[in-house]
């Protein structure tokens, strides 16, 4: 279950996220030192925003990890998607040219469904 999060790709991603999370606090500290040196309101706001960016990124990353753990491993297998085909209704009222075109499309659809049934 959690072994999916221990593949080389995920381990590298864990390390990158941890480095970025710590980096946001260093950037927040840097902005705080600029603000204390008389940098103004923008530096004060960035001193608060950088750690918030770090927590926001961490929150999204935890959500991504949860989705990976709860994901069905066979989900990406070819042919696993359930596709329901519905036979189209042919509109015969109104324009005869449109009705002929719809009948042609319905015939093409029937051929495709028969071909799929023969191969599947």
Question: What is the rounded CA–CA span in Å between residue 22 and residue 61?
Answer: 14
The helix or strand, by DSSP H or E, that contains position 21, with its residue range, turns out to be: helix 8-34
pTM over 0.95, yes/no: no
Say whether 87 sits in a helix, a strand or coil: coil
What residue spans define the domains of the chain? Answer: 2-75, 83-120
Question: What is the rounded CA–CA span in Å between residue 58 and residue 63?
Answer: 9
Model pLDDT for residues 61-109, shown as the tens digit of each residue: 999 999 988 887 766 666 555 555 666 666 667 788 888 888 888 888 8
CB 71 within 8 A of CB 7: no
| The pair of three-digit structure tokens given for residue 55, joined into one six-digit string | 């927590």
Model pLDDT for residues 17-72, shown as the tens digit of each residue: 999 999 999 999 999 999 999 888 999 999 999 999 999 999 999 999 999 888 87
């Amino acid at each position: 279950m959690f072994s999916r999060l221990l593949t080389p790709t995920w381990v590298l991603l864990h390390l990158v996220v941890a480095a970025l999370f710590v980096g946001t606090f260093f950037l927040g500290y840097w902005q705080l030192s600029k603000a204390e040196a008389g940098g103004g309101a923008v530096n004060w706001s960035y001193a608060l925003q950088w750690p918030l960016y770090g927590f926001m990124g961490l929150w999204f990353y935890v959500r991504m990890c949860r989705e990976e753990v709860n994901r069905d491993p066979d989900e990406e297998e070819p042919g696993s998607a359930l596709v329901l085909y519905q036979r189209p209704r042919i509109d015969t009222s109104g324009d005869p040219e449109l009705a002929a075109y719809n009948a042609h499309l319905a015939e093409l659809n029937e051929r495709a469904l028969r071909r799929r049934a023969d191969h599947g």
